[in-house]
Structure 1
């Protein structure tokens, strides 16, 4: 049903692909305008401030919980 190839498959093209150089040069990169730079900076600052804010608001949840009962018991013991 299936016919097997008897000749080896040449893989020389894989080695040649690493050395291949195109003679087509890509177009030059467009320089960013001041508006685009400001917009990207604003987005970056927003992301960073959001992460910092989440960390600051999340820190109390990461602290071990101190039971307020100990403070009440110590006050009651001092009043006796």
Structure 2
């Protein structure tokens, strides 16, 4: 059983780092003031939502001592 050495069918991938195109991409268009303002407002809304959910969620994550004392006082009153 002899194996033939054939070139890799995708040999152009190995040569990709040496390839330089002579076609220049079009220049990026600059963002307008309205687009910059809109993107910053969206970012601010996302950050505000995350901070708000963290602030409203923190009390739920804290161990509640008030409910334990109220249950104990109700149990002691029932005796």
TM-score by length of 1: 0.71
Partner of 2:4: 6
- Secondary structure in 1 aligned to 2:27? coil
Alignment of 1:35 with 2:34, yes or no, is yes
Cα deviation, residue 15, structure 1: 1.9
CA RMSD of aligned residues (A): 2.5
TM-score, structure 2 normalization: 0.72
Any unmatched runs of 5+ in structure 1?
none
Unaligned runs of 5+ in 2: none
Measured in 1, the distance between the counterparts of 2:49 and 2:34 equals 22
**Residue 61 of structure 2: aligned partner:** 62
